[in-house]
């Protein structure tokens, strides 16, 4: 077996999971992967929504999208960089930037110095589990502790999402089968 199967909504018997899943106005292929663990699905989708809730003094959503795309590229998850690449473009990024991230060209002149810093921070958190002292010091000069933690939650969430998508063989575009 090279991947876990996706579950259908009809496979679900847990009432809390059914209620949570039905509360969404959209269906994601990833939901069909998460359905294997009803309690985690319910709790995690609630948490995952907080990553994308704009809060006063939080990390700008475009920078979160750039970080999520970078973490997803590093995790080899076309499912997540595909979805969040589109989100990155909707929030002010562009296709050339997305293409550069997918190609590993993180030093491209297409990115501002702040975007490059966010990409570097994301790479270090994803690959080494923490940023270098130098990177964190530069981040702390530009962002509040709340913003840095906000970004770190987004990176961690999409490292997990990428691994779940990969475990079930999900690829860019697989959501079309459910919507």
Q: How many domains does the chain have?
A: 1
pLDDT recorded at residue 65? 97
Confidence tier at 97 by pLDDT (50, 70, 90) = very high
Let me know if residue 163 belongs to a domain. yes
Angle at the Cα of 154 (from 129 to 71), degrees rounded to 5? 55
Q: What is the pTM of this model?
A: 0.94
Q: How confident is the model at residue 177 (pLDDT cuts 50, 70, 90)?
A: confident
**Dihedral, CA of residue 110, residue 116, residue 119 and residue 123, to nearest 10:** 120
Note whether 66 and 118 are within 8 A (CB): yes
Residue 100 lies in a domain: yes
Mean pLDDT lowest among 37-51, 94-108, 154-168: 37-51
**Alpha-carbon distance values, 16 to 6, 8, 128, 168 (Å):** 19, 15, 36, 23
- Is residue 16 predicted with pLDDT exceeding 80? yes
Asked if residue 25 belongs to a domain, the reply is no
Return the CATH number at 136.
1.20.1290.10
How far apart are the C-alpha atoms of 142 and 120, rounded to whole Å?
14
Domain membership of residue 29 (yes or no) is no
pLDDT of 1 > 90? The answer is no
Q: Rounded to 10 degrees, what is the CA torsion of 36, 44, 129, 66?
A: 110
Structural domain includes residue 92? yes
Averaged confidence pLDDT in the chain:
95
Structure tokens at 166: 């990969």
Q: What is the pLDDT of residue 126?
A: 98
Distance between CA atoms of 17 and 39, rounded to whole angstroms? 7
Q: How high is the pLDDT of residue 178?
A: 81
Does 99 map to a domain? yes
Question: Please, which pLDDT band fits residue 150 given cuts at 50, 70 and 90?
Answer: very high
In a domain, 9, yes or no: no
In this structure, are residues 66 and 93 in contact, taking their beta carbons and an 8 Å threshold? yes
Q: What is the pLDDT of residues 120-143, one digit of tens each?
A: 999 999 999 999 999 999 999 999
Q: Which two tokens stand for residue 29?
A: 């292929």
Domain coverage including residue 73: 61-167
Would you say residue 1 lies in a domain?
Answer: no
| 98 in Cβ contact with 69 (< 8 Å) | yes
Give the pLDDT confidence score for residue 136 in this predicted structure.
98
Mean pLDDT along residues 84-109? 97
Distance CA 32, CA 60 (A): 29
């Amino acid at each position: 077996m090279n991947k876990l199967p996706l579950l259908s909504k009809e496979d679900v018997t847990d009432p809390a999971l059914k209620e949570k899943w039905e509360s969404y106005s959209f269906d994601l292929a990833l939901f069909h992967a998460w359905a294997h663990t009803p309690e985690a699905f319910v709790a995690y989708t609630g948490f995952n929504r907080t990553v994308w809730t704009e809060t006063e003094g939080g990390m700008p959503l475009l920078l979160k999208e750039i970080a999520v795309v970078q973490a997803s590229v590093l995790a080899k998850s076309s499912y997540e960089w595909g979805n969040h690449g589109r989100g990155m473009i909707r929030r002010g990024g562009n296709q050339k930037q997305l293409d550069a991230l997918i190609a590993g060209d993180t030093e491209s002149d297409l990115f501002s110095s702040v975007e490059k810093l966010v990409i570097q921070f994301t790479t270090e958190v994803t690959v080494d589990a923490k940023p270098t002292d130098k990177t964190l010091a530069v981040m702390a000069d530009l962002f509040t502790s709340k913003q840095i933690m906000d970004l770190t939650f987004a990176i961690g969430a999409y490292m997990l999402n990428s691994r779940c998508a990969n475990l079930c063989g999900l690829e860019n575009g697989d959501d079309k089968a459910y919507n």
